[in-house]
Structure 1
């Protein structure tokens, strides 16, 4: 058997053998699991808030709408509402992130402790 055939056979066998994940990889996945949902929610909420703010700006500057005083007043009100939503986005993100951290804290700390204990034994 040629050396290249042996390497190829080992690669194929590795593809079909059960995968074992290290504790460091599992810890990284848990950390990403904690941070991903709040980040997605924050970006989505911030985008919607910015679009609301922009719509208010357009109405207020008479880019869209009838150009009347009522449309301008509505634009100012909508713009202020969009600003308020943008202002609460970061506190909402932090609250959501802290809730997720609290939910997964035990698992992450336990896994990190196992990793550090294994490293200390070596």
Structure 2
């Protein structure tokens, strides 16, 4: 049976310039709803790269003891965010060393990524 809680860290599409955030926001909402269907507590930490994301991520990681942290593809897959991705992984190691780290393919499969480690 799934356990939790899970923290999902990703880019906030509403705070990124140059593209329509609505499809990604809808996918994030579907992915988050799936956690509820599975009975898994999940918190979201959506950040903007220009707005001190490390501080927001560290604060989110300190809120509770997470069983798993999922790092979203927006941070992980885009070359301009390589250093942010590296900092995120190290923040998880520092503030949630007990947590498994998982990676989703899309916002819709975030719960499945966490389930691999719960």
Q: Which TM-score bucket, shorter chain as reference?
A: under 0.3
The TM-score with structure 2 as length reference comes to: 0.24
The TM-score with structure 1 as length reference comes to: 0.24
The structure having more radius of gyration, on CA atoms, is: 1
Higher percent of residues as strand: 2
Higher percent of residues as helix: 1
